[in-house]
Structure 1
Amino acid sequence: MIVVHVKDIAQQAKHFTLYEQIDIGLQYALKANPTDPDLAQARAWFWVAANHYDSFLAHYYWAITWHEFSAQDFPKEIELIQLKQIAAEGQLAAIYMLGLFYETEDTVLAIEYYRYAAERDFYPAINNLADKYEHGLGMRQDLEQAVALYLRAAEHNIAAAEWSLGLLYAYGTGGEQDHQLACYWLQRADQHGWQGADDMIADLQRNSCYC
């Protein structure tokens, strides 16, 4: 698995606008293959743009890179009706993004989208489904299932899953505390650009925990 330090990309990205960041990510994506470091670079640039600018389009571009794609899969803009049409054709990134869209409006519907994509090994959706199991949102809480799903997503560098595992092990939620594992996952989340992971690591270090 190619590792790209998203924090380093975030520092570079400060000098570029949203659309410049997206364009840089797209340039990497369109010359990448699944084992190429360019794919990791593309994901990093899309992830930074999505989070810094709260960009739905950048988040969609990031999601697209988690399955096979071509240049035609990256629209210049995306509206809900268009997203639904693409999802109806079976594109997992669009199905995942519909889950995101309905998160606050209809949690049960969001879960249906996440579950469909997760059952087809779409790692961003696996993470979001894990979150619902962890917090009992729209379903019965199941921490064991949440951890199992987080681990599947985290093994593929999904920063949100790494962050969640770090917190679960740090606080012993649903099991015993394990500060060594907490630090391992938090350091990975920090490496992959999850805001706040560095502060959590520092807190553990101040409390004389292994990190």
Structure 2
Amino acid sequence: MNKSILIIAYTGLLTFVLSCESNGNRQIYATENQEELILDSSHNLPFICVIDTPFCTDSACSGMYRGVEFVPERYIDQLKLNGTDVAHQYSNKICEYVGKKLKQLYRDSLYSKVDFNHIRISTKGMNGDSNYVEYKVYIPFKRVPKSQAMTAFDHCGGWGHTPELKKRKFDLLSSPNKIVRNKRLWISRLFKTKEGLQEYWIQWQHTACSR
């Protein structure tokens, strides 16, 4: 889809007005060395919001969100969000890519699971005065026997509050699609950043994968 982008030369203090791409496939940004005001005419949003497409290898997936922590409610539908917590919803994006990669590794006979012990998350700027956060996530894999391989991944988190793990477990295990093999979930310890993000990471064996 063609989108016109207006680039205006700007001297003095660097100013950003960026578009938030909820699908993570496109970024519009200005570096510190550019003296430009960049507007995406398809959204023309008055805040910074850059959602990186997660990068996955056979060893790990990683990615970063940069921008505002929350958006006004009027932008929820426009940005295809399920709430105003745009920064925290990057956890959904990274889980989507990790789940796809686990399935690919299984199909390629590179049987793997997420290595909970070496997950890394950071939320520089969260709860700061600037309303700007850099949320970074790193999810590594480890090789395991076929019987231990995982094929699905999710999270249960709280952006400044305690995650509702009991409810999340119920939702996954009671799914009418019966997505969890043998109704067994593997759940990480509670990860916390010093700024207040709390996340449980969840993986399981998908019923659609044959043994």
TM-score range normalised by the length of the shorter chain: under 0.3
Identify, as 1 or 2, the structure richer in strand. Answer: 2
TM-score by length of 2: 0.25
TM-score by length of 1: 0.25
Identify, as 1 or 2, the structure richer in helix. Answer: 1
Please identify the structure whose Cα radius of gyration is greater: 2
Structure with greater contact order relative to length (CA < 8 Å, sep ≥ 6): 2
